[in-house]
Structure 1
Amino acid sequence: VAQGVQDRSGHGGQGVPGKRCGTILLLAEELSNCRDIVTMQLCANKLDKKDFFGKSDPFLVFYRSNEDGTFTICHKTEVVKNTLNPVWQPFTIPVRALCNGDYDRTVKIDVYDWDRDGSHDFIGEFATSYRELSRAQSQFTVYEVLNPRKKCKKKKYVNSGTVTLLSFSVESEFTFVDYIRGGTQLNFTVAIDFTASNGLPSQPTSLHYASPYQLSAYALALKAVGEIIQDYDSDKLFPAYGFGAKVPPDGKISHQFPLNNNVENPSCAGIEGVLESYLQSLRTVQLYGPTNFAPIINQVAGIAAQVTDGSQYHVLLIITDGVISDMLQTKEAIVTASSLPMSIIIVGVGPAEFEAMEELDGDEVRLSSRGRYAERDIVQFVPFRDYVDDSGNQVLSMARLAKDVLAEIPEQLLSYMKTRDIKPRRADPE
């Protein structure tokens, strides 16, 4: 029991000195392992008229029964205005929320008439269970809505209307771990920005400058994210590229040169291997420009398009200092890639303003190109500067960076699998 509810002055914990402000009772119940999700739709007929002017404005309130016999609200439908025969929109609810996986546990449903002042009028109630509801997959189920007070008062009382379950369907919600256990392989590709705006690697002001005492901003970001990533990549081989540099021997500008200088096999062994090749490349290429993202995105998308059955998923990690030169082509490339088993993580290093990156990260507004919208949000952008704390405690900051960088990958992988109706394969018993 938590005592001392926060008072209006904002003094949490103590409430008003010397005055008991009430108690909060916390009831807990262990969650079942049930991952099913239910979608259902209900309608009602001939509900009691509660409003003086016009008909009722009905809505439903669903209650889960708890282990101690009490009830907890687990869902409210929308209000359907001015009708005694409402049809509510279909809604989705986890089976855990409805009955905690216990199919015979009571589910109580109240029918109310909505009032603007919040004093909603009780029309009636009925009880059911998950098991009973699920029978609606093969037949309509009709429930009588009863008002106990009316029933006691009126001898001829029949009911206050009926509620009909129109549809009921169940699907399992799989997790990221289910797919990994089922054999989905994560493939990580690294792309590093070698444009001149990063500054000469030999100068301490450069984002690529590695002092004897500290890794460069690029190396730090790569190490922080990569060390988490490599736990999910079974072969620990990472194709690694640079972009925006003049490459020997002929000094041609390249936007996808292998860091290990091996066009046939650009994979590096582990994040240590990527770091090694990155430092080697810094000594041999000339930082140049422009900052083009589209070539490397299209290259990884081409590989991702070869296997779309859910057994392979690709993640491209781009580390850059900022302004994109080929924004239109990059948008087009991302919109195309959004229908493939692929995600893109962009880590922004340095002090630049990263508005363009925020636009590519479609959290607020879904990315579009030439009137075509991305099928899924596949880009996660993270500014590196937010994670280097003033005290120099890099271990803590890097752990937070890695967590935020990878936060959207599971959801993005699941959204791909769901849109393609790909279910995880069963893991072999060990």
Structure 2
Amino acid sequence: MTQEEKWRQPLLRDGNPVPVASYSKRSEAIIDFSISCRELLDNSVEDVKCFCVAYCSKGSPSNLLNAGTKQSDVGKGGSPVIPDGSLEIGRTEVVYNSANPDFSTVFNAKMSTYFDNIHDIIIAVYSEEDIMSDDLVKQRYLGCTRFRLESVLRKIGCNESLPLETGGFVTMSAKPSNVDSDYVVFCYSGKGLKKTSKNPIKAKKKVPKNPYIVLSYMSQKYSKWRVLWKSEVARRNETENFGVGQFQALRVNGADEDSLIQVLGMDWDEKKHQYKVIGQVETTLREILTAGELDLVKKGKCTGHLVPEFVERVHVPTIANYLPHGECSLNVTFAVDFTSNNGGPGNPTSVESLHYLHDWEQLNSYEVILQNIGSIFQEYMDIPKFQLWGYGSIFEGTVDHHFVMGEAGGCDGVEGMIRAYGETVRSDITMSGPKVLRPTIDAAIERAMHLSQSTGAYSILIILCCDGAISDITEVMEKVSQASFVPLSIVFVGIGDGDFRSLAEMNFESASLLAPSGNEFMRDVSSVVTLSSHNEDKEQGVHKVLEKVPSQIVQYNILNNILPPDPSRAETTQGEEICKDSQRAHAESLMETKKKSANDYGKVLRDSMADLDFGENPHTSEANGLEVSEESLQANAESSMENILMENESTNDY
């Protein structure tokens, strides 16, 4: 199956694509990963029985850091430091008498598709000492290291190597699983739906008022019906359309096509607050996939038909499918509100202003969101660069509805953003108005189009507002509709306790909406989050800011036929990468040995010269002599490292 066939869009009967928003919102993905080790135990392999234990820890970057899972900490002492809340994923098989084991065990890790959930995989390496015990305390601990799953996926070849504190290193290779992307996408319409009645006169009036359908499968594990999907209540007529539905094929007893599927037609009684069964039919997954008409039956009588608009078995991607090989690059821009509604007499340094900069280590509301959101996006950037813009101020006597803070090329990471923001607040700037957002969105659209053509990046604009008093709301809606056609997401974030009700118009849940000019939205492109409604749960507020962005990226890629990268690219380069890592480790080991020799020689030289008093400062001559020796050995070691790598690359064929 080609990539085009695998990731094709499901089609309606008229040949048009199914609305992408109706089936592309997946919240989880399964990632397969495997482990190999190199240069363990200084190549002493006698009686080594090596195995690895994998743990998974999920959370925000700050939480994982606070949990003590820094790379420098995970393996301190004689046992691994596993943070609270981590789950053991599994253990590899035992490989005997090898300092370079390649484990055949393939682990499966569930990965949230939300940006604010970062996944750490901790790998602990052991030598089996007690073959009869599963207790790790009874095994010999060899070292531990931590991988960030998102980082591994973004590497070329989808693998990364990290050192162990006891020597050697561990390589992790990962790729999105194929099994969990297999979905059944469908749409049924009701025809001639009716409720049964003993009285034939009443039967004619028994048209369901609030019909809906429920799909279930017979679980082989639990021997009972388990719900797969339930539709919304359809319109009150006999030809209801129950909307686009989907379910993961894997849920049906591991995608067993002979599994029983039950379809129930239901009617909700609003007065009695109860449902009534219109009719039901039992079929199989295989028959469902043939897209045949289904006849609902109750008490031996036909009570209507379910006519398929379409039934397709397709692969539905997530953001995880676009991460491999660094194919999904992000460009993130923050736009800060400098209108007078921030408080204070037009002066951002006023204590009454939301922009007030505290003298101690306390961040204001704008700095908090820059830090919290920026630190998450940094995890998806090789070189973290952020654009920082402002709007609504008077600078040197001119009202500016769009200006750049910091360097034109962007701010270096979160610290660079906060520094540029602080410099702007302390500068000769006056908060003004009105709140005009069109120039900012115009600039974001232009930048998104340029970056997409030059680097393939997807852009995200986060507009921070102190209230919802937008003067050009109609123009902004037009611009948002234009943004739905370019690789751009727009998030409006409410800062402070202002009135944000007018911003609700920007929180589009459907791409079928029309802009004031009548132009359609190609896809869901914007969202609105008011942080004041999440004061008690800051993490939930951050989650809401980023919640819709991953699915918006996927929807844009699907609509523009941008296919996920082929995971087989990782398999073809994996052996080469592991080999190069091994060669690099060997060369670095050689360099360290030569450095150690230089240090030992220097110690002998100092001891000898201490016994001979020539009337000179021995420390000066010793230091100079040793420095020359170290530089010489350093150059020799680096030359040796290059020679080893070139030699092995020319003799090894992968």
TM-score (norm 1): 0.71
Q: Distance in 2 between matches of 1:320 and 1:161?
A: 54
Q: Distance in 1 between matches of 2:531 and 2:237?
A: 54
Q: Deviations over 1:366-404 (max 9, x none)?
A: 573233343334222222333445xxxxxxx44332212
Given that residues 513 and 520 in structure 2 are in contact (C-alpha distance below 8 angstroms), is that contact kept between their aligned partners in structure 1? yes
- CA separation of 1:283 and 1:266: change in aligned 2, threshold 3 A: farther
Kindly state the Cα deviation for residue 97 of structure 1 after the two structures are TM-superposed: 8.1
Given that residues 328 and 369 in structure 1 are in contact (C-alpha distance below 8 angstroms), is that contact kept between their aligned partners in structure 2? yes
- CA separation of 1:44 and 1:111: change in aligned 2, threshold 3 A: farther
- CA separation of 1:287 and 1:99: change in aligned 2, threshold 3 A: same
- CA separation of 1:120 and 1:180: change in aligned 2, threshold 3 A: same
Could you tell me which residue of structure 1 aligns to residue 162 of structure 2? none
Could you tell me which residue of structure 1 aligns to residue 419 of structure 2? 276
Kindly state the Cα deviation for residue 245 of structure 1 after the two structures are TM-superposed: 2.4
Q: Distance in 1 between matches of 2:538 and 2:384?
A: 20
- The CA RMSD over aligned residues, in Å, is 4.2
Q: Give matches, 1:258-269, under 5 Å.
A: 258-260=404-406, 262=407, 265-269=408-412
Kindly state the Cα deviation for residue 184 of structure 1 after the two structures are TM-superposed: 1.7
Q: Distance in 2 between matches of 1:102 and 1:190?
A: 44
Could you tell me which residue of structure 1 aligns to residue 527 of structure 2? 380
- CA separation of 1:350 and 1:90: change in aligned 2, threshold 3 A: closer
Given that residues 296 and 306 in structure 2 are in contact (C-alpha distance below 8 angstroms), is that contact kept between their aligned partners in structure 1? no
- One-letter identity of the residue aligned with 2:341: S
- One-letter identity of the residue aligned with 2:376: I
Q: Distance in 2 between matches of 1:404 and 1:79?
A: 29
Q: Are 2:463 and 1:304 aligned?
A: no
Could you tell me which residue of structure 2 aligns to residue 69 of structure 1? 223
Q: Are 2:324 and 1:168 aligned?
A: no
Q: Give matches, 1:26-425, under 5 Å.
A: 33-39=180-186, 41=188, 52-53=199-200, 54=203, 62-67=215-220, 68-74=222-228, 92-96=245-249, 99-109=252-262, 125-128=281-284, 130-134=285-289, 136=290, 168-181=311-324, 183-198=327-342, 199=344, 200-213=347-360, 214-248=362-396, 251-260=397-406, 262=407, 265-290=408-433, 291-306=435-450, 311-322=456-467, 323-363=469-509, 366=513, 368-389=515-536, 397-425=537-565
SS at match of 2:426: helix
Could you tell me which residue of structure 2 aligns to residue 154 of structure 1? none
- CA separation of 1:122 and 1:92: change in aligned 2, threshold 3 A: closer
- One-letter identity of the residue aligned with 1:211: H
Q: Distance in 2 between matches of 1:87 and 1:197?
A: 49
Q: Deviations over 1:64-92 (max 9, x none)?
A: 11124333354578899999xx9976753
Farther off after superposition, 375-384 or 67-76: 67-76
Q: Deviations over 1:255-293 (max 9, x none)?
A: 222211x4xx34011011011111112222412332221
Q: Deviations over 1:139-179 (max 9, x none)?
A: xx5889999x97xxxxxxxx979989765322222112222
- CA separation of 1:206 and 1:425: change in aligned 2, threshold 3 A: same
Given that residues 50 and 121 in structure 1 are in contact (C-alpha distance below 8 angstroms), is that contact kept between their aligned partners in structure 2? no
Given that residues 180 and 250 in structure 2 are in contact (C-alpha distance below 8 angstroms), is that contact kept between their aligned partners in structure 1? no
Could you tell me which residue of structure 1 aligns to residue 636 of structure 2? none
Unaligned runs of at least 5 residues, structure 1 = 1-30, 151-158, 390-396
- CA separation of 1:38 and 1:100: change in aligned 2, threshold 3 A: farther
Given that residues 142 and 162 in structure 1 are in contact (C-alpha distance below 8 angstroms), is that contact kept between their aligned partners in structure 2? no
Percent sequence identity is: 21
- CA separation of 1:42 and 1:252: change in aligned 2, threshold 3 A: closer
Kindly state the Cα deviation for residue 42 of structure 1 after the two structures are TM-superposed: 7.9
- CA separation of 1:312 and 1:51: change in aligned 2, threshold 3 A: farther
Aligned residue pairs total 372
Farther off after superposition, 308-317 or 197-206: 308-317
Kindly state the Cα deviation for residue 98 of structure 1 after the two structures are TM-superposed: 6.8
Q: Distance in 2 between matches of 1:385 and 1:162?
A: 50
- One-letter identity of the residue aligned with 1:219: E
Q: Distance in 2 between matches of 1:404 and 1:76?
A: 25
Given that residues 229 and 245 in structure 2 are in contact (C-alpha distance below 8 angstroms), is that contact kept between their aligned partners in structure 1? no
Kindly state the Cα deviation for residue 99 of structure 1 after the two structures are TM-superposed: 1.8
Given that residues 335 and 440 in structure 2 are in contact (C-alpha distance below 8 angstroms), is that contact kept between their aligned partners in structure 1? yes
- One-letter identity of the residue aligned with 2:427: T
- One-letter identity of the residue aligned with 2:286: R
SS at match of 1:414: helix
SS at match of 1:93: strand
Kindly state the Cα deviation for residue 61 of structure 1 after the two structures are TM-superposed: 6.0
Q: Distance in 1 between matches of 2:224 and 2:526?
A: 45
Name whichever structure is richer in helix by fraction: 2
- CA separation of 1:100 and 1:288: change in aligned 2, threshold 3 A: same
- CA separation of 1:172 and 1:244: change in aligned 2, threshold 3 A: same
Kindly state the Cα deviation for residue 50 of structure 1 after the two structures are TM-superposed: 6.5
Q: Distance in 2 between matches of 1:80 and 1:349?
A: 40
- CA separation of 1:334 and 1:120: change in aligned 2, threshold 3 A: closer
Given that residues 297 and 333 in structure 1 are in contact (C-alpha distance below 8 angstroms), is that contact kept between their aligned partners in structure 2? yes
Unaligned runs of at least 5 residues, structure 2 = 1-109, 111-178, 575-654
Farther off after superposition, 183-192 or 103-112: 103-112
Given that residues 126 and 144 in structure 1 are in contact (C-alpha distance below 8 angstroms), is that contact kept between their aligned partners in structure 2? no
Q: Distance in 1 between matches of 2:180 and 2:447?
A: 37
Given that residues 378 and 412 in structure 1 are in contact (C-alpha distance below 8 angstroms), is that contact kept between their aligned partners in structure 2? yes
- CA separation of 1:39 and 1:240: change in aligned 2, threshold 3 A: same
